[in-house]
Structure 1
Amino acid sequence: DLEGGAPRDWRASMLQIPQLVAPGTLEEKALLPSFLYLPAPEEFPPESLALPWSRQNPGGIVGELARSHGAKVPTRLVASAKSWLSYTAVDRMSALLPWQAPPDVTRVSPVEASARYLGHLAAAWDHAHAGRGKSQAPMRTQEIVLTVPASFDAAASDLTLKAAEQAGLENVTLLEEPQAALYAWLEVAGEGFRKLLKKGDVILVVDVGGGTTDFSLIAVAEENGELQLTRLAVGDHILLGGDNMDLALAHTLQQQLNTAGKKLDSWQFISLVHGCRKAKESLFGDAALKKTPISVPGRGSGLVGGTIKTELTRELLTQVLTDGFFPETRFDQAPSTARRTGLAQIGLPYAQDPAITRHLAAFLTRQARALEQAPEAPAGVKRGAFVHPTAILFNGGVFKAGTLKDRLVQVLNTWLREDGGQPVRELQGADLDLAVARGAAYYGWTRHGHGIRIRG
């Protein structure tokens, strides 16, 4: 929700999104989880799926109920649609989700799933702003800023616009998510950002989402006495994020269950993955929690007939994510290319090396070589064997775990020290969950000549 007037007169507010949290139970939440559940014909009474703007919900369930109920019936749950949009080995307009769904499930394409999420948001907007006067126009007439991974190629971006079109959105601009996160930081910092950044600074944005890890470098220059921000580089498309972490946690718990004589079939393993995601988010969201239970539904009779119970402890969560995804590495240590078949069970071509630190080292090293060959490289960008960031901005809910941020900063500072650089400083203040949304709103305001724009 964006209102602009005079150059310094603007307000961004977060729309609380009505969504089903249980059959017949609606709640308003700041976030709409990107999950689509396709129920069986008689699974729910039709009236239990009604939304404020619709008595029936024939297109499936979107949001919190889709996520929670889908963990119990994963063969009817569409997840990671945004990651599928970037997967060039499949026809992204074809009905292929849920992956591994049985023949009786009517599948949808990644574009259709994305359109349903956007359609839900549009309906929520129209419902919230109905009858409030001319300034509260329907969603389809608004200036919409949609955020996408910085590493999305042209085809994935075009498919995102196609999904928006299917949802009835007309005036749409795409913005890279790491840039949106930096815009959110600029909004929070206000005019004070000029005291926190200086000419020659290089900002590293590390954005770890559900399906992708994005690296971006933003250079700080000076022009006519004013600081200017320029997009210097973005990383390759790395299918590595919260989804991989959920899989790694599920594999670890599966090994514990196997040791205890409890075997899971492939259907139950997918359910365990979704259970790990929910448990991970609970532990990230409540620092006082030490552990959270996970239940895996049974299948028929026999050994796996009953519900299987396990738990995710904070200690295990920290160990798996820190050692597996943020290990201590050297800056000249390239990502592994050994095949890891376990992480391919959900159908996507996940990164073969889960170490985000190694991918970061490769990115910074590659950019140093690129700058050496670039005739118009920004002046003052410090580099040795790799580009030396002077500031780092984190984005993504995974970084609510302070130990993960601390580890990444520790590793990066070790590289900088060994390469003759200075320690990096963290840019703080933006909300890890909502920064991209707020930054997109701020960017929309800058498009009308206000604030500071990131070039490039």
Structure 2
Amino acid sequence: MTQQTETFNLEYNFVVGVDLGTTNSAVAYVDLREDTRAIRLFGVPQLVAAGEVEDRAMLPSFLYLPGEYDLPAGATALPWARDRAYVVGEFAREQGARVPGRLVSSAKSWLAHGGVDRTAPILPWGARDGSPQVSPVEAAKRYLQHVREAWNSVYAPANHPDNAANRFEDQLIVLTVPASFDEVARELTVQAAQDAGFRRLVLLEEPLAAFYAWLAQHEDTWQQSMQDGQLILVCDIGGGTSDFSILGVRKGESGLRFDRLAVGEHLLLGGDNMDMTLGRHLETELMGAPGKLDTARWHQLVYQCRKAKETLLNSTEKADHVDISIVGASGRSLIGGTVRGALSHADVIRLILDGFFPADDLDAEPAGTRRRGLTELGLPYVQDPAITRHLAAFWRRFQGYLASETGRAAPYPDYVLFNGGTLIPAAIRDRLRAVIGDWFADEAGADWQPAELESAQLELAVAKGAAYYGRVRLGEGVRVGSGSPRAYYVAVETETRPETGEQTAVCLVQRGAEEGFEARLEELSFTALTNQPVSFRVFTSSTRLGDSLGDVVTLSADEVSELPPIRTVLRFGKGSVQRLPVRLGVHLSAVGTLEIWCYAEESDHRWQLAFDVRQAADGVTTDRGEILDQGLIEAAQAEVVDVYAGKGSPAKLRDRLEEVVGLPKEQWPTTLIRQLADTFIEHMDARSRSADHEARWLNLLGYCLRPGYGDPVDEWRMKQVWRLFLGGIEFPRDGQVRHEYWVLWRRVAGGLSAGQQNQLYHLLRVYTQPANQRKAPKGNLPKHVSSGETDEIWMA
């Protein structure tokens, strides 16, 4: 299986928690050089107006793509990127309210939208022809890239090389995702982070992060207040999603411990829906009917409704109403080109508390279909806006399992932890506690309500908890047991039975499997066509309980979600189509993603598979490319070993590798080149056999390791290659060796830390700065270089 870098084997100055939110993102960190291990917030520098940069506690998750004449020259410049042509953060949100057709919002929700190609430029949704658009992955990447660059501008500015070890790329980064994100949404989040330059990355689910934030505040006292068998309900309601989780308190070997017992399904329902509901209500009052405002005025109205909601639900302000004005509209109540109205406290109570948090019974069912809901701005929001009904259905789904796990005949949540900006108003939290209290009045007493685990700054708790979890990864703090929140299945029938909607499948990964879980599905064999497209249907469920690896089960449509299929080409032999019996294997990686492998029964061939994330709702797919049999990769590695053991010619090595794998070098996939890079690194010392051996070693290693990052193990690889720089080349007088040496560093320079790049510059400037050419190069570097070598040095 793919190698993983263990976080505790590396040195960091910081652990950084990043909450990539639907509406707002936040960053918190722990300075590991301090004994206090205090969690601090990072104020994110960002544009707040044209050309004005200020720190903010949060980075609004908005991207503005300006037109040629939208903004004055220099309006989008950042201190670290003067030529930046787009805007992220507060100014993007404000400018986007004026020109909504150029505003990207809710990118995180789009990452989980299986009905579109999430790697295609589709945002802003419905943009006019010719307007710039980006993919959901690209939008998320730009938010995360801004975080990285902003951090470096503060803690590792380019003009302070002594702080190079503080660069964001060199810290342990914990990035949060909803617990309800399926495997594809997680992989796309990882892709966005890696594209943004995140190298040392771990995923953490947001409800767990919120609980870790509470643990950080009560690390030394929680055991005195909790008991074995108690349950904690985590309600995480942000701008775009609602996420529920249940944690259990259990007796461990050295005292009480926590285990995550259940997670809910993905609910595209949150504060944004509430703001739009208030907006439609007020629009009807002001304009006589919904849908009368143009897009720009509608966005103004929704933004003001959000602010009014927060004011009217704030228990300390006790406001009766909030005045709202929409500039530049037309219609009734028009005074000076402005529509004026008011949102009252009674309106908010009726529309928000009674509409989204009604006092329904525990047996209330969410209205409408489970997945197909109303669509607003292209996103498939759930049909029933009543969060309490979704919460009731979630609890009922796991009630029997909770009873078996706790030994309680009628389990109820002893504690509730609230998280997310939507739950900041005490009125909403009080309503939720009252509703839950009514559900369990017979078991817990008429006046009972779950105790609230109070957490400061709900909108920032996820980032803080992520930073605390970074400490946990390094062996400090209290860990919550949290295996896979869902089970995975592979279909053994090609079609779902139409009369029942059921599907026969085999369990690939059981619910609760821990990080590092690895297994082969020995009980089930498929027949695959080699060198032709093949497809496997994969399902996931967070509600099915008790299924184990290899169990043949019948899945019903209301308990599973189907992931995009695994659709690829299994290369085997000389290219002819053959029927090949295969089995599947799985691995839960340390990063937080699922790997699926395909093994040939009658040989040692194996292939790592990938989800077709570009499948859209109509089922149309695009080619995922070819995946090499692992046996071919190992045969290629053997060719390298032979050459550096003196059994072959280095001049013919590239041709031999192309012949073995059946692909020209330009088409070698990442799975091949990174494993070849490992083989070259393993035989680093053998390059001393001859100048030809060293030149070929440098050439192919650089090609296989470029650009130096992007794979979870690249950081380790770059540490090994750095030894080459420190030790120098074996044949410094050979022109070809020197040339390939500079080409290597040009190809992999992106994977060097800031400190290494600074060191590289100081050692190589003797070749590029005439004033310094009289100084002799250090180490085994050549005394003189050709003009061609100088060009390569400049490009490095």
Q: Normalized against structure 2, the TM-score is what?
A: 0.53
Q: Does 1:389 align with 2:413?
A: yes
When residues 400 and 111 of structure 1 are mapped into structure 2, their CA distance, relative to the original with a 3 A threshold, is: same
Distance 2:304 2:298 in 1: 10
Distance 1:72 1:453 in 2: 46
Counterpart of 2:352 in structure 1 is: 321
When residues 224 and 77 of structure 1 are mapped into structure 2, their CA distance, relative to the original with a 3 A threshold, is: same
Counterpart of 1:11 in structure 2 is: 38
Distance 1:383 1:395 in 2: 29
Is 1:368–1:383's contact at 8 Å kept on the other side of the alignment?
no
Distance 1:87 1:246 in 2: 21
When residues 442 and 448 of structure 1 are mapped into structure 2, their CA distance, relative to the original with a 3 A threshold, is: same
Counterpart of 2:54 in structure 1 is: 27
Counterpart selection for 1:228 from 239, 250, 257 = 257
Is 2:231–2:246's contact at 8 Å kept on the other side of the alignment?
yes
Counterpart of 2:451 in structure 1 is: 425
Amino acid at match of 2:356: F
Counterpart of 2:181 in structure 1 is: 152
Counterpart of 2:100 in structure 1 is: 74
Is 2:216–2:468's contact at 8 Å kept on the other side of the alignment?
yes
Deviation (angstroms), 1:371: 4.6
Partner SS state of residue 10, structure 1: coil
When residues 301 and 362 of structure 1 are mapped into structure 2, their CA distance, relative to the original with a 3 A threshold, is: closer
Counterpart of 2:552 in structure 1 is: none
- Tell me which structure has the larger Cα radius of gyration: 2
Distance 2:371 2:284 in 1: 16
Q: Does 1:312 align with 2:338?
A: no
When residues 189 and 420 of structure 1 are mapped into structure 2, their CA distance, relative to the original with a 3 A threshold, is: closer
Contiguous gaps of at least 5 residues in structure 1: none
Deviation (angstroms), 1:151: 0.4
Contiguous gaps of at least 5 residues in structure 2: 1-28, 483-796
Q: Does 1:367 align with 2:398?
A: yes
Compute the RMSD of aligned alpha carbons: 2.8
Deviation (angstroms), 1:135: 7.5
Distance 1:286 1:121 in 2: 34
Amino acid at match of 1:19: Q
Deviation (angstroms), 1:276: 2.5
Distance 2:289 2:318 in 1: 25
Q: Deviations over 1:228-271 (max 9, x none)?
A: 10000000111110111111111111221133999324554344
Deviation (angstroms), 1:172: 0.9
Q: Does 1:46 align with 2:40?
A: no
Counterpart of 1:88 in structure 2 is: 114
Q: How does 1:372-451 map to 2 (within 5 A)?
A: 377-380=404-407, 382-384=408-410, 387-419=411-443, 423-451=449-477
When residues 47 and 218 of structure 1 are mapped into structure 2, their CA distance, relative to the original with a 3 A threshold, is: same
Deviation (angstroms), 1:74: 1.5
Amino acid at match of 1:409: R
Deviation (angstroms), 1:54: 1.8
Is 2:209–2:461's contact at 8 Å kept on the other side of the alignment?
yes
Distance 2:125 2:301 in 1: 16
When residues 414 and 132 of structure 1 are mapped into structure 2, their CA distance, relative to the original with a 3 A threshold, is: farther
Q: 152-161 or 331-340: which moved more? A: 331-340
Counterpart of 1:119 in structure 2 is: 145
Distance 1:46 1:286 in 2: 44
When residues 289 and 424 of structure 1 are mapped into structure 2, their CA distance, relative to the original with a 3 A threshold, is: closer
Amino acid at match of 1:29: R
Q: Deviations over 1:291-346 (max 9, x none)?
A: 44444454799999944333434442333210111101010011001799995232
Is 1:72–1:297's contact at 8 Å kept on the other side of the alignment?
no
Q: Does 1:65 align with 2:96?
A: no
Q: Does 1:336 align with 2:360?
A: no
Distance 2:227 2:323 in 1: 48
When residues 340 and 256 of structure 1 are mapped into structure 2, their CA distance, relative to the original with a 3 A threshold, is: farther
Distance 2:214 2:290 in 1: 50
Q: Normalized against structure 1, the TM-score is what?
A: 0.90
Counterpart selection for 1:180 from 206, 209, 215 = 209
When residues 338 and 360 of structure 1 are mapped into structure 2, their CA distance, relative to the original with a 3 A threshold, is: same
Q: 74-83 or 9-18: which moved more? A: 9-18
Partner SS state of residue 41, structure 2: coil
Partner SS state of residue 203, structure 1: strand
Q: How does 1:287-302 map to 2 (within 5 A)?
A: 287-288=316-317, 290=319, 291-298=321-328
Distance 1:398 1:203 in 2: 20
Is 2:373–2:380's contact at 8 Å kept on the other side of the alignment?
no
Deviation (angstroms), 1:52: 1.9
Partner SS state of residue 216, structure 2: helix
Partner SS state of residue 46, structure 1: coil
Q: 330-339 or 70-79: which moved more? A: 330-339
Partner SS state of residue 256, structure 2: strand
Counterpart of 1:276 in structure 2 is: 305
Deviation (angstroms), 1:9: 4.1
Distance 1:364 1:142 in 2: 38
Is 2:323–2:341's contact at 8 Å kept on the other side of the alignment?
yes
Partner SS state of residue 162, structure 1: helix
Deviation (angstroms), 1:2: 1.6
Q: 249-258 or 175-184: which moved more? A: 249-258
Distance 2:417 2:291 in 1: 42
Q: Deviations over 1:50-78 (max 9, x none)?
A: 222122321x1111111122122221111
Q: Deviations over 1:69-94 (max 9, x none)?
A: 21222211111111110010011111
Distance 1:87 1:261 in 2: 27
When residues 65 and 312 of structure 1 are mapped into structure 2, their CA distance, relative to the original with a 3 A threshold, is: farther
Distance 2:333 2:456 in 1: 48
Q: Does 1:138 align with 2:152?
A: no
Amino acid at match of 1:356: I
Counterpart of 2:598 in structure 1 is: none
When residues 337 and 343 of structure 1 are mapped into structure 2, their CA distance, relative to the original with a 3 A threshold, is: closer
Amino acid at match of 2:451: R
Is 1:71–1:275's contact at 8 Å kept on the other side of the alignment?
no
Amino acid at match of 1:71: A
Q: 42-51 or 88-97: which moved more? A: 42-51
Partner SS state of residue 417, structure 2: strand
Counterpart of 2:241 in structure 1 is: 212
Deviation (angstroms), 1:280: 3.5
Distance 2:257 2:264 in 1: 22
Distance 2:373 2:243 in 1: 23
Distance 2:66 2:308 in 1: 24
Bigger RCO (CA 8 Å, 6+ sep): 1
